[in-house]
Structure 1
Amino acid sequence: MNKDSKIYVGGHTGLLGTALLKKLELEGYRNIITKTSNELDLINQERVKDFFNKEQPEYVFLCAGLTGGIIANKTYPATFLHTNIAIQDNVFEAAQRHGVKHLIFYGSSCMYPKYSPQPIKEDYLFDGKIEETSEAYAIAKIAGVIACKSYNIEFNTKRFIALVPNTMFGPHDNFDPNTSHVIPSLIRKFHEAKEGKKENVMLWGSGNPRREFVFSEDVADASIFAMLNADKLENGHYNIGTSEDYSIKELANMIASIVGNKGEIFWDVTKPDGSPRKLLDSSKFLTLGRKPLTTLEKGLKITYEWFLKNGKKY
């Protein structure tokens, strides 16, 4: 991937897409193609075909897709399943037909079994039952990971690369209280509680589950690194994480401190916790030479600063 290579970033307005655009531009890549969902509906097969016919991208970062937290996953499972599989299928097929040099697809840690041994190795993918609340989304992501491997096998290529980052966060995240993941949801809750001078904040679950969080710009760095080192990669997926996890209680206390919320935190244990722990074993990717760069606290501070300037739009 050279500085003048034609690069398509699908989903460029989202959490990872904006981070990728920033990193690519900082590193001198200028021939970057972007399309909003109104300009290019990736669910529409004919429009995807027309786009690849016209633009002929050499490299693709497929950040586009539908994501959400526990509430969204439980409420809209069919929408999550259909949307993500349709996008993946259309883009993969077009990329293969038009000889894209490399495409990066992003899986999710929710693909792994709910009670998987920790830390989770790539080989544990089918070793147990996945978490029910995210089942449809997880199945779509598993399909994408297997599709990457299958295309490479059938067409004797290393064209498709599958990366599996753990829970991402950062600027341009989704802060909608009905569809957001845990970090943006907590940032908004604590900020609004502080603004409303509330004496306490009620949070879902017990707070005991442990999670690993990855700053979006670190995943963008890892993605560019993977493109530049594609010849060293095996035909299989790679976990992308920090090798550190935190309980939701620890996370909540950290965010409350950063936001400046001094109210008491209560936990609604009638609400679901999800998987008890999700810590990825990222050693396979880290041994290639790419290391995580941003601490959780630093990333949270950057994210909250961005929210203060832009959060009302989300």
Structure 2
Amino acid sequence: MNGSNGVVGTGRRRVWITGGNGMVGRNLREHPRAAEWDILAPSRRDLDLADRRAVGNFARDVRVDLVIHAAGQVGGIQANMADPVGFLVNNLDIGRNVIMGAFEAGIPALINLASSCMYPRGRNHALRESDIMSGELEPTNEGYALAKIVSTRLCDYIARTQPDAAYRTIIPCNLYGWHDKFDPKASHLVPAIIAKVSAAVAEGQGEVEIWGDGTARREFMYAADAADAIWRGAEHPAALPQLMNIGIGDDHTILEYYEAVARTLGWKGNFRFDLTRPVGMQRKLSDVSLQRAWGWTSPTSLQDGITATIQFYQQQAQAS
């Protein structure tokens, strides 16, 4: 029974997806490969991942073959800067409870979804998995990054000391797509741009503000593609590298993302640059050498992904 607390006895493999109602979780559940699994995706109301005892009991009771840990408190620069305590503590507690709960319950495999925020700031080269903990973190999302580093290291330690436990970490680049958050106060770059430019179209505005000078570069992947990679990894978790980036291996300037959204929406106004606003790291591009050696590449182009995401945003706006 997809997306519920229980499963039907089909004999298929069983997976517990944390954060099943978030963007990644819903893309996982809607992916064609989801039909090959019995999925448990309890809501926050049904299972509080911050409750260590409840998580441990759930992990012992469900008898799943795999955990995909996609839950967490997430957001863009504004959200991270407004609540650094929450981004550190909540993600730290959730990561520890899920990973140790699964391990102590004897669940044989876990795919932990980390974040490219874990990488040091100020690197001009594509970020390699070996770069983690080799330099200063970006201050605007340091709390979130620290929590994700702890969860990643915990999976490393488990796999190192218990070779039969396939506890692996995937580091997606920035994601966007269906089921994203579009409130600029809580969202990441691409959905925030879609909301801002859509408002400009609807209200006849001739100008849209960009934080910074627009030259910072970011790598964004369509969330359905991330789900495709995760399900591929779920087939044989032990065959995954211990730590692996997934991304498109290419990046664009912030201005280029604004231009792509404006082009799709047919908005022809001007951009105003606010140089007083924070922009985070100047560049954050993933090295996807391990991913390519593993045999996977992201299939959706930026323009196609943005078009699909705008369609989803418009559908949600019409329904509300």
Give the TM-score of the pair, scaled to structure 1. 0.95
Q: What does 1:77-96 correspond to in 2, within 5 Å?
A: 77-96=84-103
Residue from 23, 34, 40 that aligns with 2:41: 34
Which SS does the other structure have where 2:157 is aligned? helix
**2:30 alignment counterpart:** 22
Aligned-pair RMSD on alpha carbons?
Answer: 1.6
Residue from 251, 255, 272 that aligns with 1:249: 255
Q: CA deviation at 1:66?
A: 0.5
CA contact (8 A) 2:108 2:164 kept: no
Amino acid aligned to 2:198 = H
Q: What does 1:158-307 correspond to in 2, within 5 Å?
A: 158-234=165-241, 236-307=242-313
CA contact (8 A) 2:176 2:222 kept: yes
**1:73 alignment counterpart:** 80
Measured in 2, the distance between the counterparts of 1:295 and 1:200 equals 27
CA contact (8 A) 2:56 2:102 kept: no
Q: What does 1:33-52 correspond to in 2, within 5 Å?
A: 33-52=40-59
Q: Which moved more, 1:152-161 or 1:67-76?
A: 152-161
Which SS does the other structure have where 1:104 is aligned? strand
Measured in 1, the distance between the counterparts of 2:28 and 2:269 equals 36
Alpha carbons of structure 1 residues 19 and 190: separation in structure 2 relative to 1, 3 Å? same
Measured in 2, the distance between the counterparts of 1:3 and 1:283 equals 36
Which SS does the other structure have where 2:17 is aligned? strand
Structure 2: any 5+ residue segments left out of the alignment? Answer: 1-9
**1:119 alignment counterpart:** 126
Alpha carbons of structure 1 residues 153 and 170: separation in structure 2 relative to 1, 3 Å? same
Which SS does the other structure have where 1:28 is aligned? helix
Measured in 2, the distance between the counterparts of 1:312 and 1:285 equals 38
Q: CA deviation at 1:53?
A: 2.6
Structure 1: any 5+ residue segments left out of the alignment? Answer: none
Which SS does the other structure have where 2:12 is aligned? coil
Measured in 1, the distance between the counterparts of 2:317 and 2:144 equals 26
Q: CA deviation at 1:154?
A: 2.3
Which SS does the other structure have where 1:174 is aligned? coil
The number of aligned residues is: 311
Q: Summarize deviations over 1:190-244 as a string: whole Å, max 9, x none.
A: 001110001111121111100111111111111111122323233x310101011
Measured in 2, the distance between the counterparts of 1:47 and 1:253 equals 47
Matched, 1:12 2:7: no
Measured in 2, the distance between the counterparts of 1:297 and 1:15 equals 19
**1:105 alignment counterpart:** 112
Which SS does the other structure have where 1:227 is aligned? helix
Q: CA deviation at 1:64?
A: 0.6
Measured in 2, the distance between the counterparts of 1:229 and 1:267 equals 47
CA contact (8 A) 1:175 1:311 kept: no
Amino acid aligned to 2:194 = I
CA contact (8 A) 1:69 1:180 kept: yes
**2:6 alignment counterpart:** none
**2:138 alignment counterpart:** 131
Q: Summarize deviations over 1:145-200 as a string: whole Å, max 9, x none.
A: 11110111222334211000100000000111211100010000000111000111
Measured in 1, the distance between the counterparts of 2:198 and 2:106 equals 48
